[in-house]
Structure 1
Amino acid sequence: MPADFPPWDRVYTFFRRWRDHALVKEFHDRLRSRIRDREGRDAEPTAGVIDSQSVKADAVVGSDSRGFDGGKLINGRKRHVVVDTLGLLLGVMVTAADTGDRTAAQMLLEQVVDAHHRLALVWADGGYTSSLVDCCFTALAPVLAIVKRSDGQKGFVVLPKRWIVERLFAHLMRTRRLARDFERCRTNSAEAMILLMTRRLARSRPQPA
């Protein structure tokens, strides 16, 4: 802890109290609404982007909440996120890294749609095809639009809309506790976004010439 902070156990007690009473989520949602309002957007988004990120887990993370992602060759956890078109977090779910993207996405989208009733369109990559598209069409409100790279594209390619969520992952990886998963509790996932949004709101806007 920084030298000008109270003892760590006192700070954590306040954080745990706020988290258990859903105040952390309330802070997060109000900040997101403030940013959307400043950007001239409605408070409730109508479109979003979904993706996942696998990260290595520290030794403090129990074996019951971690797994091995065979595609990324990572032993740890996987973060499944939905963001709006400004890159602001709408929903997050943390699972073992061996959890399939489509399985987690269906549960996450149900939560996000329940909280954001105006959400009508969600962009995703090719890993979310098959039954999830049909599920969104029949059981959930938003349409799932798959953004794929063309057959001739090789290497790293910036794809439309997909870069929005990739930028969020880049921001999260700059946070020490998220670059490698140190959290015993999987619910402590959205707090880094509060820091990012407060910095974004505090950033001075250029004055018109």
Structure 2
Amino acid sequence: MTDAEWAVVRPLLPVPGWMRGRGGQPEAYCHRAILDAVRYLVDNGIKWRAMPADFPPWDRVYAFFRRWRDHGLVVEFHDRLRSRVREREGRDTEPTAAVIDSQSVKADAVVGADSRGFDGGKLINGWKRHLVVDTLGLLPGVMVAAADVGDRTAAKVLLGQVADARHRLELVWADGGYTGSLAGHCLAVLALVLQVVKRSDDRRGFVVLPKRWIVERTNAWLTHTRRLARDYERRTTSAEAIVYWSMTLLMTRRLAWPHPSRA
């Protein structure tokens, strides 16, 4: 991280338990060095054991990653950054509208056969990332599942999680893969309006569809980080954590840049 990024990140970091009198031991390494190591791994797609010597030992970095994953700290950190970006853009901290979509990704050989699946539509053997993004392309929620899990099935779970955490969410746009009983479920159970944006049958070639392009752009952002070009994680929770870490890279860089209106 640059000094400008660290100035943004430092006050938003979750406070360790030992600093709040809840026990535990202080970190053995500087938080900035640990964060840089995790960001380097996500951005460059290296193996944990290939961590450069300039960073803390790989097992200490992985222990940090695992602790933040299991205790929800990476989500907490991500959400604080997302709120700050939305405020900077003149938006409320929580969105009222979002877009949902999925992306099938090939799984590496380390991913067990019992957790992966085959997406017959995309002909991909691996996992599927289900994303809910706001109108800025930022991430209120993500769910990683086997590629053979249907979009509507995963959407019920993911939208339920997002609706519980984001009480202001009212409208969700989706593509034709989310038709059927899902709209009724969202309205009756989650108090959400699911609006399907369909492609016109008389249009040929590439067409930018209203609202749906936002989530496609987020998918492109994620694949810029090499760790997400394939799925290398052995657990879906780790894959979800990597997605959140990838978005923190994007948001810290954005917050460190001078705002156009203030330049």
State the TM-score, normalized to the length of structure 2.
0.77
Larger radius of gyration: 2
Deviation at 1:208, TM superposition (A): 5.4
Deviation string, structure 1 residues 138-169 (Cα, Å, up to 9, x no partner): 11111000001111112221101001100000
CA distance in 2: counterparts of 1:53 and 1:41, whole angstroms: 27
Which AA in structure 2 matches 1:62? G
Q: Which residue of 2 aligns with 1:204?
A: 258
Equivalent residue for 1:173, pick from 223, 232, 235: 223
Say yes or no: does 1:90 pair with 2:140.
Answer: yes
Aligned to 1:145: 195
| Alignment partner, residue 105 of structure 1 | 155
The answer to whether residue 91 in structure 2 is matched with residue 58 in structure 1 is: no
Indicate the residue corresponding to 2:175 in structure 1.
125
Classify 1:207/1:105 alpha carbon distance in 2 versus 1 (closer, same or farther; 3 Å): closer
| One-letter code aligned to 1:42 | D
Would you identify which runs of 4 or more consecutive aligned residues in structure 1 move more than 6 Å?
Answer: none
Letter in 2 for 1:128: Y
Distance in 2 (alpha carbons) for counterparts of 1:207 and 1:131: 44
Letter of the 1:71 partner, please give it: G
Cross-structure match for 2:246: 192
Shift of 1:21: 2.1
RMSD of aligned residue pairs (Cα, Å): 1.3
Once the two structures are TM-superposed, the CA of residue 207 in structure 1 deviates from its matched residue by: 5.7
TM-score (norm 1): 0.96
What is the aligned residue count? 209
**Is residue 177–residue 183 contact of structure 1 (8 Å, CA) maintained in 2?**
no
Partner of 1:136: 186
Mark the runs of 5 or more structure 1 residues left unpaired by the alignment: none
1:38 correspondence with 2:88? yes
Distance, in Å, in 2 between the alignment partners of 1:207 and 1:138 is 42
Contact 1:66/1:77 (8 A) holds in 2: yes
Measured in 1, the distance between the counterparts of 2:109 and 2:88 equals 42
One-letter code aligned to 1:80: H
Distance of 1:105 and 1:123 partners within structure 2: 12
Please state whether the residue corresponding to 1:193 is helix, strand or coil.
helix
Corresponding residue of 2:72:
22
Larger fraction in helix: 2
Q: 1:15 to 1:155 in 2, by over 3 A?
A: same
Instruction: Report the identity percentage.
Output: 76
C-alpha change, 1:134 and 1:186, in structure 2 (3 Å) is: same
